[in-house]
Structure 1
Amino acid sequence: MHMGVQWVAAHRAAMVSPYDGLSFTKPRGGFSGRTVRQVVHLHRGGPQLRVWLSNQFGSGPLRIGEARVGRHLGGGRIAEDQIRLSFGGSKSVEIVAGTEVVSDLTDFEVPDDAELAISLYVVEDSGLATNHPEALQTGYVAAGNTAADPEPGLAEEIASLYWIKGVDLRLERSGDEPVVAAFGDSLTDGSGTTPGAHQRYPDHLSRRLGLPVLNLGIGGNRLLRNGFGPAGLLRFQPDVLSVPGLTHVIIALGINDLGLPAMLGQPKTGAEEMIAGFTTLARLAREAGVAPIGATLPPYAGTTFPGYHSEKGDRIREAVNDWIRRTPEYHACLDIDAAVRDPERPSRFHPDLHCGDGLHPNDEGARAMAHAIGLDAFLTRRVSR
């Protein structure tokens, strides 16, 4: 087996614009002149890292006066072995609106299954803060430059992730080791699971595989239409196919294409449109040498979101799921529907597996989703371009 030193994506977050209406907890005092300490979870550890910062949706330049990384000990506290990041040899960086930057490679030993605290001293914010709305990790915002402080001090708590797009590790790995991305909506993002406990379905799947599974979910995201982040068809290339060494992608979108139009008074989406969209994503993946894995749409009758469910939508869901299970466009199927439905009422979530809203899995539901596919699907690719 060939071993080589390679970049491995250890963390990725799909970013959105504040205009999408999903910035849950922007701090009351804004960001300028304050330090933002945020926590990310890495499935894989290694001896060297770099951090990606994004100002993709900013309206002006984002000026970072200092950036530090340390092992998170809980409650915003960081270990003494924290390090300062540099950007082209400088401790500060200005990120032009619409762009992103990556820090210099730095030595920092990260254990497997670790939490990192990344502290950014924001000299001047970008107006609009590029963010990932539901981090499921508490962040901390404090006045002044407190990036090096081991304690968060008098800090305001936030629940969204700002500007941190990813963490890469440079380590030795075999050339045939899978690199898996989970692409989807709130079911992938982890809505309904316990914050800070790493209970999203990609977390469970990572533990099954013993490999990182990158979470590229956005709550409310749709396959065909913008809003709550760019449409899946638009963000697939920048969010997924740009991941270094990617071998497999799980495509788990579509339920919001059925439910949100009914809620928002928009034109309804048909099965043919959705199947065409899924076919496009599968073929884009294969053209990039990545094995596409389809995920069935979950049951949603009885959801507490007013107007979200309809009988017509359920018929469309069943037709799409039938196609996902049978199509040769996909390398394999993650059958979410079969894993979480109530056997007595199959159009509904099993009562023990949802968080109370009839749509999002709880921790056990996310675990069931992660077990809805055989691990052999990730051992081979069989990609025809």
Structure 2
Amino acid sequence: MFKRRFNLFVISAIIFTLAFSFSTLTVTADNKIGSWIGAWATSQMAAWTTVDWDGGFSENGFDDETIRMIVNPTASGEEVKVRLSNEFGEKPLTFGKATIGKTDEDAKVISDSIETLTFAGEESVTVPAGEAIVSDPVPFDVVDGEDLTISVYIPEESGPATWHNTANQKSYFSVGDATANVDGSGFTNDSNSWFFLSGVDVLTKSNKKARTIVALGDSITAGYLSTLNANQRYTDFLNERLDKEINNQTFSVLNQGISGNKILRDDAIFGEKALDRLERDVFSQTNVTDIILFEGINDIGHVPHQLDAEEIIKGMKQIAKEADKRGIRIYVGTLTPMNSFTGDPTYYTEEGEETRQAVNEWIRSQDIFDAVFDFDRVVRDPENPDKILPKYDSGDQLHPNDAGLKAMADSIDLSIFKQPLSRTAYK
């Protein structure tokens, strides 16, 4: 179901800035031909200062410590750039050193794979509060699906940290500058979160048309309660399918899900609302061509409940409008069941279920989005359609398990991605 057809021009060259603007086919100074695309990304949040669910890492920040983080790229390339964020910091933040390497296991890095990242030619960089920075390009063989290890050294007190919680991937901490450490010794603490790290871009090896799909959503998109360190989010499964089944393009799928996130309301714990994080988390990603919007269930479930379906629909329409203004295709997922959610006894109400059904009815009948992904029909129990199918339940009756997330990805009709896009950069 498409409402637009693009008739757009190809750009042959692009000026790189720290703004992460769109990119197309590029010829580098050493005659490499490829495209700069987003290979990995995660949404940033302010530190938690009112709860201690994360062990206090985000609130307390870091001082003379190295944070070692594992990421799983969804595109291959021969050069790499890394984005570090102080967007929710309270003061300027100095990164004393940052490195990238190939992951061995846990905090270990494959010997001789570590490369030092630089920023305008310098190893150390200070980022003002409210800003992010992109490293210089460095030759590095990035392989789609093979983990990367990124280590950042914080030499001075950082204050509350910009971060992404519930990453479903362990990060590790060591005292002092351990960015060049290979055997993982000294990394004695860990957390299921990423800190200060918001993106990885690669220069593809192929001259195929590149396509970056950004998944905007909440905890189900983030893969909450999927298997730890296993990359079993629905976006991971979707990327695998695209790579296997469509050979005429280069695909990357970026996951911008935040647990508990909402379309209409900011939250100190669950991040800025989707409408306010569009520019940073979606439109500024490198070479974004497609968006999957799968969000709204927390607007209904969290107190105060949003029980007016029209308000949620209005927010979805606004997101679609912003994508359309930039010539980006956007798809929408139906809201999945929430009855009997064990994590919050106030989450489900009969009025909220009526709201969910009304939103889903509109999603299935509208012609604003380019396609509908009916995730509700995929994971619901046919005999109890307000509940998740037991074989897809992670255990809390809200979040799908690995099998459910794979079923969601498998349900997406890949024919909508088969035709390469030709488009100009929008800003």
* TM-score (normalised: structure 1): 0.94
How many residues end up aligned between the 2 structures?
380
Aligned match of 1:179: 212
1:58-69 to 2 correspondence within 5 Å?
A: 58-69=89-100
Question: What code does the residue aligned with 1:260 have?
Answer: H
CA distance in 2, matches of 1:242, 1:175: 22
| Shift in alpha-carbon separation, 1:360–1:20, aligned structure 2, 3 A | farther
Query: For 1:198, which of 231, 251, 261 is the aligned residue?
Result: 231
Deviation at 1:72, TM superposition (A): 0.6
Aligned match of 1:12: 41
Question: What code does the residue aligned with 1:353 have?
Answer: Y
Query: For 2:264, which of 224, 237, 248 is the aligned residue?
Result: 224
Aligned match of 1:24: 54
Is the aligned partner of 1:158 residue 2:191?
yes
Deviation at 1:296, TM superposition (A): 0.4
User: CA contact under 8 A between 1:45 and 1:114: conserved in structure 2?
Assistant: no
1:124-139 to 2 correspondence within 5 Å?
A: 124-139=156-171
Q: What secondary structure, in the 3-state scheme, does the structure 1 residue paired with 2:278 have?
A: helix
Is the aligned partner of 1:149 residue 2:181?
yes
Q: What secondary structure, in the 3-state scheme, does the structure 1 residue paired with 2:277 have?
A: helix
1:77-92 to 2 correspondence within 5 Å?
A: 77-80=108-111, 81-92=113-124
Cα offsets for 1:225-252 (capped at 9, x unmatched): 0011111111112210111221110000
Deviation at 1:269, TM superposition (A): 3.5
User: CA contact under 8 A between 2:45 and 2:271: conserved in structure 1?
Assistant: yes
CA distance in 1, matches of 2:176, 2:280: 34
CA distance in 1, matches of 2:67, 2:40: 18
Please say which of residues 370-379 and 91-100 is displaced more in the overlay.
Answer: 370-379
Question: What code does the residue aligned with 1:157 have?
Answer: D
Aligned match of 2:152: 120
Aligned match of 1:70: 101
Deviation at 1:271, TM superposition (A): 0.4
User: CA contact under 8 A between 1:20 and 1:229: conserved in structure 2?
Assistant: no
CA distance in 2, matches of 1:30, 1:215: 24
CA distance in 1, matches of 2:207, 2:327: 17
Aligned match of 1:378: 417
CA distance in 1, matches of 2:119, 2:345: 48
Deviation at 1:373, TM superposition (A): 1.8
User: CA contact under 8 A between 1:59 and 1:128: conserved in structure 2?
Assistant: yes
Question: What code does the residue aligned with 1:204 have?
Answer: F
- Across the aligned residues of Structure 1 and Structure 2, the Cα RMSD in angstroms comes to 2.1
User: CA contact under 8 A between 2:305 and 2:352: conserved in structure 1?
Assistant: no
1:228-243 to 2 correspondence within 5 Å?
A: 228-243=270-285
CA distance in 2, matches of 1:267, 1:297: 15
CA distance in 1, matches of 2:37, 2:114: 21
Aligned match of 2:327: 289
Query: For 2:254, which of 209, 214, 228 is the aligned residue?
Result: 214
Q: What secondary structure, in the 3-state scheme, does the structure 2 residue paired with 1:278 have?
A: helix
Question: What code does the residue aligned with 1:236 have?
Answer: L
Is the aligned partner of 1:110 residue 2:138?
no
CA distance in 1, matches of 2:171, 2:50: 19
Deviation at 1:149, TM superposition (A): 1.0
Q: What secondary structure, in the 3-state scheme, does the structure 1 residue paired with 2:337 have?
A: coil
| Shift in alpha-carbon separation, 1:30–1:281, aligned structure 2, 3 A | closer
User: CA contact under 8 A between 2:300 and 2:306: conserved in structure 1?
Assistant: yes
Query: For 2:378, which of 339, 346, 369 is the aligned residue?
Result: 339
Cα offsets for 1:308-365 (capped at 9, x unmatched): 0011111111110011111111100111100100011011000110110000010001
CA distance in 2, matches of 1:358, 1:63: 43
Please say which of residues 236-245 and 295-304 is displaced more in the overlay.
Answer: 236-245
Structure 2 gap ranges (5+): 1-9, 13-24, 27-33, 244-250
Cα offsets for 1:132-184 (capped at 9, x unmatched): 00111111111111111102213211111000000000124456443211100
Cα offsets for 1:24-83 (capped at 9, x unmatched): 244498521111111111011211001000000111121111111100111110012211
Q: Among the aligned pairs, what percent are the same residue?
A: 36
Please say which of residues 216-225 and 124-133 is displaced more in the overlay.
Answer: 124-133
CA distance in 2, matches of 1:382, 1:147: 40
Please say which of residues 60-69 and 220-229 is displaced more in the overlay.
Answer: 60-69
| Shift in alpha-carbon separation, 1:46–1:128, aligned structure 2, 3 A | same
* TM-score (normalised: structure 2): 0.85
CA distance in 2, matches of 1:97, 1:236: 20
Is the aligned partner of 1:168 residue 2:210?
no
